[in-house]
Amino acid sequence: MTRVAAVDIGTNSTRLLVADVDDGRVADVERETRVTRLGEGVDKRRRLLPVPIARVRNVLTDYRRAAERLGAERTLAIATSAIRDADNGEAFLGEVEWSYGFATRLLSGHDEALMTYRGVTSERGTDAGTLIVDIGGGSTELIAGEPDGVRWHDSLDIGSVRLTERFLHGDPPTAEELSACAAAVQALLAERVPDEIRERTTAAIGVAGTITSIAALALGLDEYERERVHGSRLTAAALGEQLDRLGAVPVARRRELRPLDPDRAPVIVAGAVIAREALSFLGLDELEISERDILDGAALTAAELPAEAEGAAPPGAYTCC
């Protein structure tokens, strides 16, 4: 058994999983999610901006200390859409490795999809007709699984942050904005998803913060309960109801809705549009919700790294700004 820390530096959130990994199984010790919006402005400017970088640095300081406190033997930080799209993304990731002592990996869309699949299937298999839908802040990964591995996958440049910045400027968004956002999602799905995958998909598994947040809202939870969300079913009708509810009120009102993370409120509507259009495109009536995702895949990958040397973090580690 190996205790690891996995950090997912995403477009919308920065997440930590400290877990014990044993024979391909991931046993949680501690999980934490903080909305840091690293991808703010990246779609337009192609650069990570100073304020989002500072938000992520502050969180990484806390995560490094948590990893040490909990005795993680190996630590891996993965970077996805925002960092790979930004001209200064690799430089920032190098700074993360130096300042916090993390091993780092910049994932391509291909890598992101495969690591998501590994995480989702860490405690279950998938049938030939199952499609995993991972809606992130900057991209959406689609992975068609089979009992013995991945049949097809793709990474689409549609995410909750990216589409909010492109289409949803009103507060609340107008009907025209929502329609334009939905049309863009449908067009990209039609362009990128092969007919064979669309026709053979009979079930879908939804992962990541957009999907799990909407599922928690649909369940009527007062506080977020991971155990109740995991394995639940989000119907297309319930998803549509939550999209109508979220899209009809301004951000300030969305922030008050529980159990939604208030910091996720500005981009949740675009994420819900992606989820609705994906289900419609696939002709499915529901999504199964999984709390196992790319972070679990990163934990499995971290367990395969060489053991960290004593005192591996540099003397200037944990600086926040």
What DSSP line would sit under 248-265, residue for residue?
Answer: TS-HHHHTTSSSS-GGGT
Q: What is the pLDDT of residues 95-154, one digit of tens each?
A: 999 999 999 999 998 898 899 999 999 888 777 899 999 999 989 999 998 777 788 999
Q: Tell me which residue has tokens 């640095």.
A: 57
With 70 as the cut, is the pLDDT of residue 236 above it?
A: yes
How do residues 164-208 score in pLDDT, each as one tens digit?
A: 999 999 999 999 999 999 999 999 999 999 999 999 999 999 999
Each residue's pLDDT tens digit, 70-101: 999 999 999 998 999 999 999 999 999 999 99
Report the candidate in 75, 93, 8 with the shortest Cα–Cα distance to residue 312.
75
CATH class for the region spanning 125-291:
alpha beta
The ranges assigned to domains in the chain are 2-109+296-302, 125-291
Reported as a pLDDT band with limits 50, 70 and 90, residue 313 is low
Q: How confident is the model at residue 239 (pLDDT cuts 50, 70, 90)?
A: very high
- Least confident segment among 57-66, 223-232, 300-309: 300-309
What confidence score (pLDDT) does residue 309 get? Answer: 59
pLDDT at 315: 44
Q: How far apart are CA 210 and CA 259, in angstroms?
A: 12
Q: Which CATH class is domain 2-109+296-302?
A: alpha beta
Tally of CB atoms within 10 A around 243:
20
Q: Is 23 left (phi over 0), alpha (psi -120 to 50) or beta?
A: left
pLDDT at 149: 76
User: pLDDT tens across 210-224, in order?
Assistant: 999 999 999 999 999
The average pLDDT across 31-40 equals 94
Q: What is the DSSP string of 129-143?
A: TEEEEEE-SS-EEEE
The residues facing 7 across adjacent strands are: 16, 77
Predicted confidence band of residue 308 (pLDDT cuts 50, 70, 90): low
**Is residue 318 over pLDDT 80?**
no
Number of Cβ within 10 Å of residue 196's Cβ equals: 11
pLDDT single digits (tens) 262-305: 999 999 999 999 999 999 999 999 999 999 999 999 999 999 99
Q: Is the peptide bond before 259 cis (omega within 30 degrees of 0)?
A: yes
Q: Residue type at 181?
A: C
201, 131 in Cβ contact below 8 A?
A: yes
Q: pLDDT grade, residue 321 (50/70/90)?
A: very low
At 147 the pLDDT is 72
319, pLDDT greater than 70: no
CATH topology agreement for domains 2-109+296-302 and 125-291? yes
- The first and second tokens of residue 267, run together, are 């981009």
